A and B are shown apart, each in its own frame.
Chain A
Amino acid sequence: GAGVSQSPSNKVTEKGKDVELRCDPISGHTALYWYRQSLGQGLEFLIYFQGNSAPDKSGLPSDRFSAERTGGSVSTLTIQRTQQEDSAVYLCASSLGLGPQHFGDGTRLSIL
Chain B
Amino acid sequence: EDKVVQSPLSLVVHEGDTVTLNCSYEVTNFRSLLWYKQEKKAPTFLFMLTSSGIEKKSGRLSSILDKKELFSILNITATQTGDSAIYLCAVEVAGGTSYGKLTFGQGTILTVHP
Please tell me if B85 contacts chain A, counting CB pairs below 8 Å: no
If A42-B106, A43-B104 touch, does A101 touch B98 (CB 8 Å cutoff)?
no
Instruction: Please state if B42 and A106 are interface contacts (CB–CB under 8 Å).
Output: yes
B84 an interface residue at 8 Å Cβ cutoff? no
Over the window 52-64 of chain A, the binary record of Cβ atoms lying under 8 Å from chain B Cβ atoms (1 yes, 0 no) is 0000101100000
Check A105–B102 contact: CB distance below 8 A: no
Q: Tell me, in angstroms, the Cα distance from A67 to B3 when the chains sit together.
A: 25
CB of A75 closer than 8 Å to a CB of B: no
Say yes or no: B97 contacts A102, CB within 8 Å. no
Is B103 an interface residue, CB under 8 A from the partner? yes
User: B45 contacts which chain A residues (CB < 8 A)?
Assistant: 100-102
**CA distance in complex: A42, B102 (Å):** 11
Within 8 A of B (CB), among A18-63: 31, 33, 35, 41-45, 48, 50, 56, 58-59
CB within 8 Å for A45 and B101 given contacts A4-B42, A102-B45:
yes
Q: B residues 46-105 with Cβ under 8 Å of A?
A: 48, 88, 90, 97-105
On B, residues with C-beta under 8 Å from A are 34, 36, 41-45, 48, 88, 90, 97-107
Extra contacts besides A31-B100, A100-B48 (20): CB < 8 Å: A3-B42, A41-B106, A42-B105, A42-B106, A42-B107, A43-B102, A43-B104, A44-B104, A45-B101, A45-B102, A45-B103, A48-B101, A95-B100, A100-B34, A102-B45, A103-B36, A103-B43, A103-B44, A105-B42, A106-B42
What are 23 contact pairs spanning A and B, CB under 8 A?
A4-B42, A33-B101, A33-B102, A42-B105, A42-B106, A42-B107, A43-B102, A43-B104, A45-B102, A45-B103, A48-B100, A50-B99, A56-B99, A58-B97, A95-B100, A100-B48, A101-B45, A101-B102, A103-B36, A103-B42, A105-B41, A106-B41, A106-B42
